[in-house]
Amino acid sequence: MVMSICACLALMLHILILLSLEEEYTPGAWPNDSKWMLPYLPPPLEPLEAQLEVRKLRKQVRKLRKQARKQEVLKVQQARQQSRLEVLEVRLEVLKEVLKEARLQAWKQARWSVILSALAEIGQDESTIPVLKQRSYTTSDTKVIPSALADKSC
């Protein structure tokens, strides 16, 4: 810590010595000038029109930056919505398959309920289904032939 302070003081002393030896240096040429202060360049004075133009350009830059931020936010939102859409599409496909399977199961169950009700009408039960598959049904065998029983692939 002490070493860094000493190094700073030595550097400042060196700069002051160089400034005092400079031939072109004229005291009072800069505002707040003294032999122990470094001179600084004041900002150049611009005409009023140039200052107005700079203000307009700065305003345009701010607007463009704001628009760019909005566009970035929109891009992020669109990316999120796209990923959500993809997830929903996958879920939809899965639900379609589940619905298809559920419809098939419901159809099979309804088919078997028709078969069982037809068996009940003729006075038989489930244990006779293998035997019934081998028989050919005619109108003389039963009063009503259900459409499900007419199909021998049951």
Between 103 and 31, the higher pLDDT residue = 103
Mean pLDDT, range 95-110, rounded to an integer? 91
**1 located within any domain:** yes
Mean pLDDT estimate for the chain: 75
Structural domain that includes position 35: 1-41
Mean pLDDT, range 83-109, rounded to an integer? 93
- The Cβ of residue 122 has, within 10 Å, a number of other Cβ atoms equal to 14
Identify whether the C-beta of residue 33 lies closer than 8 Å to the C-beta of residue 27. Answer: yes
Query: Percentage of residues in the chain with pLDDT exceeding 90?
Result: 32
Helix, coil or strand: residue 124: coil
Mean pLDDT, range 54-74, rounded to an integer? 94
Between 109 and 80, the higher pLDDT residue = 80
Specify the residue for token string 């400079």. Answer: 22
Between 92 and 122, the higher pLDDT residue = 92
Please give, one letter per residue, the 3-state secondary structure of 54-118.
HHHHHHHHHHHHHHHHHHHHHHHHHHHHHHHHHHHHHHHHHHHHHHHHHHHHHHHHHHHHHHHHH
**CA–CA gap between residue 151 and residue 133 (Å, rounded):** 9
**15 located within any domain:** yes
Report pLDDT for 142: 44
> Does position 153 have pLDDT exceeding 50, yes or no?
no
**CA–CA gap between residue 14 and residue 18 (Å, rounded):** 6
Residue 50 phi/psi, 5° resolution? -65, -40
Report pLDDT for 70: 96
* Residue whose C-alpha is closest to residue 30's, from 19, 18, 38: 38
Q: How many domains does the chain have?
A: 1
* pLDDT, tens digit (0-9, with 9 covering 90-100), for 14-54: 787 776 665 555 555 555 555 445 555 556 666 777 888 88
**CA–CA gap between residue 133 and residue 152 (Å, rounded):** 6
Report pLDDT for 10: 87
**95 located within any domain:** no
